[in-house]
Amino acid sequence: MNERASTTLVAPHAQTPDPKPLITVTDLHKHYHIGGQELHVLRGVDATIWNGQWVAVLGSSGSGKSTLLHLIGGLDRPDQGSVSFDGRDIFNLPGAAIDRYRNRHVGFVFQSYHLLPELTALENVLIGAMIRSSILGWSARRGEAKRRAVELLDRVGLGDRLNHRPSKLSGGERQRVAIARALVNQPDVLLADEPTGNLDEKTGQQIMALIAELHQQGQTIVMVTHDQQIAAAADRRLWLHDGELTESLAS
Ligand SMILES: Nc1ncnc2c1ncn2[C@@H]1O[C@H](COP(=O)(O)OP(=O)(O)OP(=O)(O)O)[C@@H](O)[C@H]1O
Ligand SMILES: [Mg+2]
């Protein structure tokens, strides 16, 4: 990864974070109904994530880590409880404000990349910026968004892969495109679901180095993993077990 433009990955305001709660999760419950059976995945989850913190969420497969991350990102709704961002409950915002929350304040890296196969790496990153704009707004912002997308891809080491489609990229390269897409709108919080889950060890280490660099620049990060070694790099480790979240006191 190159050393140039080392301050451009994260939002300017994230670089001098105030120590304040950014996200507060209170008594979160989520059930799924499947084949006549009820699965109570989250059973009263509480957590506070502070501005600038790097938090790892650990738990075995099926414990509800992705479910929790989707709720924090406003991608799904809880059955009970709240997620507050900057003091406001995201599920009680007026009108389309939850879409704005998702598009402007959150950057999501999915467990399986979710890149659009027919778009190039550059277009996949740009689509994140396009979604947040109106048609008029987009024509005004397009040039600036493209510059930022190119810069981000350069910073994640893909400056020479801008026009590659996902099928022509390796797993680690796809994950780096997904990270660049998540960062294109300078989100307040990066939510990363098993960002190294599908990668070999060396590629996983490169992705972790990138996440650590983002953290050093002040980016708030919530990262799901089942790997304790990977979680060791974070500021805090939270364990999801039997639908409840507990803080691990061991570092
Ligand atoms: N849309 C859904 N409908 C029904 N059940 C679901 C749904 N999404 C998740 N589940 C179930 O809820 C439980 C928690 O799923 P989740 O994907 O949150 O687990 P996870 O901790 O992320 O697991 P993994 O480590 O394998 O990714 C699982 O038993 C899963 O089968
Ligand atoms: Mg998962």
Q: Which domains does the chain show, CATH number per domain?
A: 20-113+176-247 (3.40.50.300)
Task: Identify the weakest region by mean pLDDT among 23-32, 99-108, 241-250.
Answer: 241-250
- Residue 10's pLDDT is 64
Is the shortest distance between the CB of 243 and ligand 1 below 6 Å?
A: no
Distance 20 CA to ligand 2 centre (A): 28
- Read off the pLDDT of each residue in 2-29 and give the average, rounded to a whole number: 68
Is the shortest distance between the CB of 41 and ligand 1 below 6 Å?
A: yes
Residue nearest to atom 5 of ligand 1 (CA): 32
Following CA atoms 242, 208, 219, 155 in sequence, which dihedral angle do they give, to the nearest 10 degrees? -150
- Residue 11's pLDDT is 62
Q: How far is CA 31 from CA 26, 37, 39, 70, 211, in A?
A: 16, 10, 5, 14, 31
Give the residue, out of 32, 60, 222, 240, with the most ligand 1 atoms within 8 A of its beta carbon, to mutate for a pocket test: 32
pLDDT tens, residue by residue, 37-87: 999 999 999 999 999 999 999 999 999 999 999 999 999 999 999 999 999
pTM score, whole prediction: 0.89
For residue 111, the ligand 1 atom closest to its alpha carbon is 27
State both tokens at 162.
């801008």
Give the residue, out of 65, 198, 227, with the most ligand 1 atoms within 8 A of its beta carbon, to mutate for a pocket test: 65
In which band, very low, low, confident or very high, does the pLDDT at 6 lie, cut at 50, 70 and 90? very low
- Residue 3's pLDDT is 41
pLDDT tens, residue by residue, 128-146: 888 777 777 778 788 989 9
- Residue 9's pLDDT is 61
In which band, very low, low, confident or very high, does the pLDDT at 17 lie, cut at 50, 70 and 90? low
Which residues, at least 6 apart from 48, have a Cβ–Cβ distance to it below 8 Å? 21, 23, 24, 25
For residue 33, the ligand 1 atom closest to its alpha carbon is 4
For residue 194, the ligand 1 atom closest to its alpha carbon is 27
Residue nearest to atom 25 of ligand 1 (CA): 61
